[in-house]
Homo-oligomer: A and B are copies of this chain.
Amino acid sequence: MTTKATLKNIASMLGISISTVSRALKDHPDISDETKKKVRELADLMDYEPNAFAVYLRTNESKVIGLIVPEISNYFYHSFVASVEQEARKKGYSLIILQSANDAAVEEANLKLCKLNRVAGIFVALTSETRDMATFDRIKSSGIPIVFFDKVPEDNHYVKVCLADREVGKLAARTIFDKKKKKVFALFGNPNISITRKRKQGLVDELKKLSPFIEIATATANNTEESMQATFDILSNKSKPDLIFCMSDEILTGTIMAINKKGLKIPKDIGVLAVSNGFIPKICNPEITYIETSGAILGKKAMKTFMEVLEKGIIKKLDVIESKLVEGGSI
């Protein structure tokens, strides 16, 4: 095995000191051009790359961001992750992606892992089970900035970026009103998380405000399976709704499966309106009308917020992004 490419080895091979090599490689003005050239040539030859751990240890700051998400298969989170990754790369950060599997214990383990790895910061979308924010608080007070996104805690002494969830609900309500639907079945995700509450509230309140004649029934489902079951059940009733509202891709997927299973046709037999990132709606026939929520935009905003927190140390902040209606043929 050849000599390892370290500052020390380069220094001894060149007969100069370690510090000179270190500075030469960072183009420090103290070092002469001649020396720099020598050093750089040998470093290139030896394929030198600084030992990240030694750098971290010395400087006490890593260039890694932890990202904890219930699951990345989710199309929304995926686009969020992709976007954050891209932005992070630009700033010289890399991402360590962790999945909490919607399990508070795993989430906690992941947090520990982040702390252990001394990440520069953490992005978190909360589990629907998360009750105890103590670990988050401990980490935050240990100096690691945390940016919550999408599924955020209610407390507003946290840094949060999220969708305008109430507005999403309202937009759905207005769409339903415009399309003259009379009997709505609205299917939501886990009721414990704030986005569920907000979207529901936005939808229900706005609908009430728009017309007293629109019936609305709501239900919750924790996953695709439950969503499919709930939809199936409601479609088995004598009096079917004329529109099903799905608050997320996960829910939508189950609903579509159930509608297919029932052999019903969209939009003739039943209308569908979803909140989605667009992937699932676009592979359906007809395409599903949906309210677009862009993970990519949210990711960009999250990274920006993170950099602000890091640089200026902003303590509390809430960022919200808007969303718009994309018409398919499902209503």
List chain A positions with a Cβ less than 8 A from chain B.
Answer: 47, 49-54, 56-57, 62, 64, 71-73, 75, 78-79, 81-82, 85, 89, 94-99, 101, 109, 112-113, 115-118, 138, 253, 256-257, 259-260, 279-280, 282-287
Contact = CB atoms under 8 A, between A and B. Distances in A.
Contacts of A72: 72-73, 78, 81, 97
A115 to B, nearest CB: 7
Interface residue SS majority, chain A: helix
Given A95-B98, A260-B287, 18 more contacts: A47-B138, A49-B115, A49-B116, A53-B62, A54-B57, A64-B96, A72-B72, A72-B73, A72-B81, A73-B73, A73-B79, A73-B279, A85-B99, A89-B109, A96-B96, A96-B97, A260-B286, A280-B283
19 contacts: A52-B116, A52-B117, A53-B53, A53-B62, A54-B57, A57-B57, A72-B72, A72-B73, A72-B78, A82-B99, A82-B101, A85-B98, A94-B117, A95-B96, A95-B97, A96-B97, A256-B283, A260-B286, A260-B287
Residue of A53, A98, A279 most packed against chain B (CB within 10 A): A53
Give this chain's copy count: 2
Contacts of A115: 49
Contacts of A79: 73
A321 to B, nearest CB: 20
Contacts of A97: 72, 95-97
Contacts of A112: 49
Q: Which 6 A-B pairs have the closest CB atoms?
A: A260-B285, A73-B78, A97-B97, A53-B56, A53-B57, A53-B53
B94 A96 contact: yes
A248 to B, nearest CB: 14
A46 B57 CA distance: 20
Nearest to A138: B47
A97 B73 CA distance: 13
A125 B56 CA distance: 29
A75 B259 CA distance: 23
A315 to B, nearest CB: 16
Contacts of A57: 51, 53-54, 57
A170 B115 CA distance: 49
Nearest to A143: B1
